[in-house]
Amino acid sequence: MNDIEERLRAGLRELAEPVDARVDADAALAGGARLRRGRLARWASGGVALAVLIGVLAWNGLPWRQVVAIPDPIAVPTSAPRAPSAMLSFPVSDPPQTWTGARVSVVRTGDRLTVELARVQANGDEGASHTYTTAAGEFWSVPVDDDLVVAVIPNPVVSVASLAGWDVSVNDGLDALGITVVGVQRSNPAVGAYGGLVWRGANFDVRNSEGAVIPSAVLEAGDRSVIVFRDEGLGVWGYLDAYNDVHAALPMASEPTGAVYDLPKNPEGEVTEIGFLPARGRNPKLTVRDGAMWGSAAVGDSGRVAFIAFAVSPASTPLVTSVTYTDASGKRMTYQP
């Protein structure tokens, strides 16, 4: 047997000897913990990567949408607010006048009003502008020239009248300010100077440009009604007919005492007459044409009574043929107007 064979046999005998089964428990546990931590780390890394991959795939699978950026609001320059304005237009006269209207703007600042106005021609051209200031809450008027007066009434009105020969234009376009702008333009060169205004408020009271409540009455005949008034302060009497949009303030000398006054007829053929009993007369009884109706009322505290007669397309006029009343002494009197 040579040397090589002896070494082989010795090696085989060592392999055949029993194996020592002792195990270092602490080392085994430490090794197992390291193994688990390594596996968890590898699993977590793989899970994160997988989640990222799924997220990317899911985003790519969604429909494509455009994302619009919303910029911050841009300040837009604003101009100063325009003053509230009203346009006053007058009827065309014969011969035509150069000025046919007026533009009026009003601004309220505290208890003051700033009024700017300019006359306007038929083609829209404006004349020189005039500016005034006045107290809010009060009647105010200004003569622009000999033929035009502009007034501000400190509340809304139903109708406005001025002396005959002066056209009245009312514009309530400034209702946000609670006022009414009125223009009064001379239509007859022969008439006298502007004498003031009379108007009816929303509650049927009648006032004048001097700030007084003046005697008035609502005259009714059937469904027809007209307001009459007597203003001894301004020296006028008149009527306000809101239904037909006509009105007049007339000299007191023309008051129809013992007579009748015909209001303008309208296209429907309506005829309306009004009149006054003599001073302190009362209890009137009218005789009228067939088909006519009549009524009467005391004119405020003036001591006067007014009456109205009304008919549609009457066969003849005047409507009133006689008036019987009680005079100041208590005697019944009759007259034919």
Q: Please identify, among 160, 181, 211, the residue that sits at the C-terminal boundary of a domain.
A: 211
Whether 190 and 97 map to the same domain: the answer is yes
Whether 197 and 290 map to the same domain: the answer is no
Tens-digit pLDDT profile for residues 25-82: 444 444 444 444 444 444 444 444 434 333 434 444 444 344 344 444 544 444 445 5
> What span, in angstroms and rounded, lies between the C-alpha atoms of 38 and 89?
98
Range of the domain at 163: 82-211
Token pair of 208 as six digits? 């004048």
Tens-digit pLDDT profile for residues 280-330: 999 999 999 999 999 999 999 999 999 999 999 999 999 999 999 999 999
Whether 275 and 297 map to the same domain: the answer is yes
152, pLDDT greater than 90: yes
Question: What's the structural domain count of the chain?
Answer: 2
Whether 23 is in a domain gets the answer no
Q: Are 288 and 336 in contact (CB under 8 A)?
A: no
Whether 94 and 196 map to the same domain: the answer is yes
16, pLDDT greater than 70: no
7, pLDDT greater than 90: no
Whether 295 and 281 map to the same domain: the answer is yes
Whether 203 and 258 map to the same domain: the answer is no
Whether 158 and 226 map to the same domain: the answer is no
* Average pLDDT rounded to a whole number, residues 193-215: 88
Whether 138 is in a domain gets the answer yes
Whether 200 and 225 map to the same domain: the answer is no
Whether 148 and 220 map to the same domain: the answer is no
Confidence label for 201 from pLDDT (cuts 50, 70 and 90): confident
Tens-digit pLDDT profile for residues 260-269: 999 998 888 9
